[in-house]
Amino acid sequence: MSLLELRNLRVEFPTRRGTLVALDDVSFSIAPGEVLGVVGESGAGKSMTGAAIIGLLEPPGRIAGGQILLEGRRIDNLRYDDMRRIRGKQIGAIFQDPLTTLNPLYTVGRQLVETITTHLPLNPAQARARAIEWLERVGIPAAAQRIDSYPHEFSGGMRQRVVIALALCAEPKLIVADEPTTALDVSIQAQVIALLKGLARDQGTAMMLVTHDMGVIAETADRVAVMYAGRIAEIGPVREVVKQARHPYSAGLMASIPPMDRRVDKLAAIEGSMPRLSAIPQGCAYNPRCPRVFSRCMVERPDLIPAGPTDAACWLYAPGAPA
Amino acid sequence: MSDTPTAASPTPPAAMLETRDLARFFDVSRPALQRLLSREGRRTLRAVDGISFAIPKGTTLSLVGESGCGKSTVARLVVGLYGPTRGEIRFDGQSLATARSDPAQRSRMQMIFQDPYASLNPRWRVADIIAEPLRAFKLVEGRDAQQKRVGELLTQVGLSPLDAQKFPHEFSGGQRQRISIARALSSNPEFLVCDEPTSALDVSVQAQILNLMKDLQARLGLTFLFISHNLAVVRQVSDRIGVMYLGRIVESAASETLFTTPQHPYTRALMEAIPDLDMTGRSRIPVGGEVPSPITPPSGCAFHPRCPLANDRCRQERPELRPSLGAEVACHAVEEGRAILS
Amino acid sequence: MRAFFDSDIWFSFTRSWLTMGSAIVAFICIAGAVAAPWLAPHNPFDLASLQLMDAFKPPSWTMEGDPLYPLGTDDQGRDMLSAIMYGARVSLLVGFSATIFATCLGVSVGLLAGYLGGTVDAVLMRIADIQLTFPSILVALLIDGIVRAAVPREVHDQIALFVVILAIGVSEWPKFARTVRGSTLVERNKEYVLAARVIGLGRFKIMVQHVLPNVLGPVLVIGTLNLALAILAEATLSFLGVGVPPTQPSLGTLIRIGNDFLFSGEWWITIFPGVALIIMVLSVNLLGDWLRDALNPKLR
């Protein structure tokens, strides 16, 4: 059974000019111990999917349809307090900016101990020992001394490690990580990715990794979901999507990444930009930019259909498509 | 390889921009009263500490490095937004101060910024934003002629002349960056400083902007100083690359040379750190530690606390840039042959 | 204009009954005051039309009321409604002028301090700090006192109105200066300002063309709230007898005059100008509150 399952999730933002559909018909599942990468351009809805799962959608955004199931139990309709309990114990969250997660007024030790004692049957002394253990595990040198430091006494990379320790210390089954390495320098990024990946593997924790960085996904994820204009364009095993994407958008996205190993005269860019939520075209949302567009794309919106080893929301893989 | 123009060599005749021993320090001391109470001295942040380079006309020099290495400070120094603490900057053979005081010379240099949401005045229409240099340098007189020129510039960067009447908030990040470029181009500059021009953009849009910049360089013969933290991006645009660490250039080489045979341990660590998109299964050993504070830089070679090759000499003596295998490297291990090239 | 009615500001305006209500009330107050010479039933300053017989008439709905004087008359037989309308005219004139004066002074100081920084900033802001340690009414009293001592009485009566405007304006500029300085510090490091500096635009051009339009949002809010405060300050000064000359009575003057009769039973002479003052100040204040919320993206 899958650990997390999203069924036709729909998130709406009511505005005075009508309702904007921020997420439309998003379905996927994550198995225990699996890392699902979610990629897409800014505004594609990837962060919003994460926020919907942990129950922290920014108002006036609301779940307008579909279900979110954790271990087969619906969590999208829970009251705030029930959701908060789940958020600490079952789902850990890591955000881009470590400063938003850490309370600047408390030592990191106090925050870790508090989280541990809330969710695990340990007394304060045991919890403190456990907290030091976690700080060591995320690679903080001299953890026994640093535990009584305040967040501002850590550097950016170290702070993100503390956040990871905080997200993992209650031993959640699922981690939602939203751009966990974006604010970090390249050399620190690599350390944090290696750390996250190792911990998830050792603990058997499932992870939803939201990022715009394909390199991070390629290194870390088992499967990838590519999002475009609030919908999943393609989902499948990471190697397939990275190496041989089926959806023209994922293929274009991969091609536009500048290569490290050679210089090219002209990079393969996707012309135009992603439509605003208020102006999503009829049919497939990608049709104005798609190099392989045909008549059906202009009228009908495609759902995910099998396209070889991946699933792609593209009419090219439906029967009767032009070759 | 040995005849490659190197950064510290005597001025090549056609250098658009040249710096010698350029340095910029910032006073980051706390207010005098607090300093007195806590008995601490003045604190100086050495953002840029003695760098020299030359950019031949029509070429691109890139400076890469992590945050806090001083690359953006260099960008601001060479367009005169900051004054240097030490060293000199020469723009097309004349001192920068002289060039900056002459509008005709000033109009030859322009800058493109990182944040497309902050680089355009939100209260101005696009037409006024792009026409500002035209008016400031009195390049095109008369409103009609200016509007015509704005239309041409917008077309040149891939937008419609009709966009001139809109406000910046009506555009996406990539389109705004195009407007920024159009503004920079409007004074017919020869030298463009680009401070992380694509790092705030999505990858598909980044490719559009990089293509546009390369295209403009080829058509207009522009000279670029390109600042970036992204090695893959830098490889696509540069002729020559300087790798910066804590205010100094640690390795400087022609683009191809740097990528095929990186020599400085830091350069190699940076390349190691890039996630492997080809999924070759290459195992990566990330460099440990973090960038030290530029207020209290380590003794000797600033990279020694993180360097696998560091020895006592590295801890005490600061290495200078020295020619090595067609590049210039500031590393004792490379000089002594202790660094084994893979 | 169409863009305005399509904007978020207009939308949030139409969504709040309280805001719409206070806007209508404020409009009625201002219109009534401005058009007093045409709308007021009597001219309280036309000595010829005053009849002492009509003095101390209570409001028209009471037993001894006279339908000619809806809100009654004062000790000299002046119609209270007309007096209030003319008085509000003076109050508003002083309020608006003082606010505009304080805005111009404060915005200029804040812009200079924030953009130029260094010594200019330190000196200007210390002056503002010092002034903020005095209650504004004290500053206004001080300025008024100095002018009274410096010029002869006849001259003072002529320039009294300007003195009050100056006194209130001077006492309130630091608020504007501080806010503008804060926004300027943020704006001056934004890249669009750097771009203008790369072109080589002069400092004052950059301040006026680039920074100023982007720091005016909060100024509009404090300006509106300050208008209410300035009206109150003028009323206080006039109540204390150091405000506008008695020949041009403001609401504050009317309240002071009425105060003498409050305990002898002629309550309407002081209560009605007081109520008018409260309504005017409250509606302007509510408008200012709404404007602050509407312009603050975080609260939206």
Least confident piece of the model among A198-202, C62-66, C227-231:
C62-66
A190–B276 CB contact, under 8 Å = no
Of A156, A263, A274, the CB nearest to B235: A263
The residues with which B302 forms a beta bridge, in sequence order, are: none
CA atoms lying within 13 Å on the CB side of residue A230: 22
Domain CATH for B239 = 3.40.50.300
Amino acid, single-letter form, for residue A186: V
Domain-located, residue B96: yes
Q: To which H or E segment does residue C184 belong?
A: helix C153-187
What residues in B contact C207, CB-CB < 8 Å? none
Of B106, B123, B183, the CB nearest to C195: B183
C213 and chain B in contact, CB less than 8 A: yes
What residues in B contact C210, CB-CB < 8 Å? 121
**pLDDT over threshold 70, residue A201:** yes
Domain-located, residue B166: no
Alpha helices (H) along B43-95:
71-78
What separation in angstroms does the CA of B253 have from each of A119, B3, B323, C178, C226? 55, 12, 10, 50, 62
DSSP letters spanning C198-215: HHT--HHHIIIIIIHHHH
Domain-located, residue B44: yes
DSSP letters spanning B163-210: GGGS-GGGS-HHHHHHHHHHHHHTT--SEEEEESTTTTS-HHHHHHHH
CA neighbor of B290 nearest in space, from A103, A154, A95:
A154
Q: Which two tokens stand for residue B28?
A: 């980051």
Amino acid, single-letter form, for residue B125: R
Domain-located, residue B9: no
| pLDDT mean over A255-277 | 88
Q: What is the mean pLDDT of chain C?
A: 85
Q: Is the dihedral of CA C142, C143, C145, C146 positive or negative?
A: positive
Phi, psi at C169, each rounded to 5°: -60, -50
Distance (Å, whole) CA C164 – CA C144: 7
pLDDT attached to residue A17? 76
pLDDT attached to residue C4? 63
Q: Which two tokens stand for residue C121?
A: 């900033």
Of B211, B273, B284, the CB nearest to A267: B211
B contact set with A (CB within 8 A): 66-67, 172-175, 202-208, 210-211, 214, 229-233, 235-236, 255-256, 259, 269-279, 284, 286-288, 290-291
CA neighbor of C23 nearest in space, from C290, C228, C273, C225:
C290
pLDDT attached to residue B279? 61
pLDDT attached to residue C155? 80
CA atoms lying within 13 Å on the CB side of residue A19: 10
**B interface test, pick of C7, C198, C209, C214 with most B CB neighbours within 10 Å:** C198
What separation in angstroms does the CA of C291 have from each of B34, C110, C217, C219? 40, 21, 9, 11
Query: How large a percentage of chain A has pLDDT more than 90?
Result: 48
Query: How large a percentage of chain B has pLDDT more than 90?
Result: 68
CB of C208 within 8 A of CB of C215?
A: no
The residues with which B18 forms a beta bridge, in sequence order, are: B54, B90
Alpha helices (H) along C35-72:
36-39
pLDDT attached to residue B2? 43
pLDDT attached to residue B4? 47
The residues with which A21 forms a beta bridge, in sequence order, are: A12
C191–B183 CB contact, under 8 Å = no
**Backbone dihedral region for residue C46 (phi beyond 0: left; psi -120 to 50: alpha; all else: beta):** beta
Domain-located, residue B48: yes
Least confident piece of the model among A180-189, A204-213, C130-139:
A180-189
| pLDDT mean over A23-47 | 92
Q: Which chains touch B (3 or more CB pairs under 8 A)?
A: A, C
Pairing, β B109-112 against β B191-195: parallel
CA neighbor of B54 nearest in space, from B2, B89, B98, B3:
B89
CB of A223 within 8 A of CB of A216?
A: no
Of B202, B275, B290, the CB nearest to A218: B275
Q: Which two tokens stand for residue B23?
A: 């340095």
B110–C198 CB contact, under 8 Å = yes
| DSSP state, residue B69 | S
Query: How large a percentage of chain A has pLDDT more than 70?
Result: 100
Strand boundaries in A119-193, DSSP class E: 174-178
Query: Of all residues in chain A, what percent are helix, strand and coil, respectively (each to 5)?
Result: 35, 25, 40
Least confident piece of the model among A210-224, B50-64, C73-87, C268-282:
C73-87
**pLDDT over threshold 80, residue C76:** no
Q: What is the mean pLDDT of chain A?
A: 89
Domain-located, residue B74: yes
C202 and chain B in contact, CB less than 8 A: no
CA neighbor of B25 nearest in space, from B57, B7, B48, B43:
B48
What separation in angstroms does the CA of A101 have from each of A97, A131, A159, A164? 7, 17, 10, 10
B136–C199 CB contact, under 8 Å = yes
- Our CA-based measurement puts residue C217 at a distance from the nearest CA of chain B, in whole angstroms, of 11
pLDDT attached to residue C29? 86
CB of A249 within 8 A of CB of A234?
A: yes
C204 and chain B in contact, CB less than 8 A: no
What residues in B contact A193, CB-CB < 8 Å? 275
C208 and chain B in contact, CB less than 8 A: no
pLDDT attached to residue B1? 39
B100–C200 CB contact, under 8 Å = yes
pLDDT attached to residue C82? 85
Domain-located, residue B124: no
CB of A216 within 8 A of CB of A181?
A: yes
**pLDDT over threshold 70, residue C5:** no
CA neighbor of A99 nearest in space, from A27, A61, A153, A169:
A153
**pLDDT over threshold 90, residue A195:** no
What residues in B contact C194, CB-CB < 8 Å? 76, 81, 111, 113, 119
What residues in B contact C191, CB-CB < 8 Å? 113-115, 118-119
Q: Which domain holds residue B273?
A: 15-108+189-336
The residues with which A23 forms a beta bridge, in sequence order, are: A11
Q: How far apart are the first and last CA of chain B?
A: 19
DSSP letters spanning A31-50: -TT-EEEEE-STTSSHHHHH
pLDDT attached to residue C299? 43
| pLDDT mean over B103-107 | 93
The number of domains in chain B is 1
Distance (Å, whole) CA B71 – CA B77: 10
Task: Report pLDDT digits (tens) over C207-257.
Answer: 999 999 999 888 988 999 899 999 998 888 888 877 787 778 888 888 888
Q: Which two tokens stand for residue A135?
A: 């700080």
Q: Which residue has the higher pLDDT, A188 or B313?
A: B313
Distance (Å, whole) CA A45 – CA A48: 5
Residue B137's pLDDT band (cuts 50, 70, 90) = very high
A219–B275 CB contact, under 8 Å = yes
Q: Which residue has the higher pLDDT, B35 or B148?
A: B148
Distance (Å, whole) CA A81 – CA C75: 67
Least confident piece of the model among A41-55, B73-87, B280-294:
B280-294
**pLDDT over threshold 60, residue A11:** yes
| pLDDT mean over A164-169 | 88
Cβ atoms within 10 Å, residue A270 = 24
Name, of A133-137, A163-167, B223-227, C164-168, the range with top average pLDDT.
Answer: B223-227
Q: What is the mean pLDDT of chain B?
A: 89
Distance (Å, whole) CA C229 – CA C30: 16
Q: Which two tokens stand for residue B186?
A: 């409007």
**pLDDT over threshold 60, residue C13:** yes
CB of B22 within 8 A of CB of B201?
A: no
Domain-located, residue B128: no
CB of B225 within 8 A of CB of B54?
A: no
The predicted model scores a pTM of 0.86
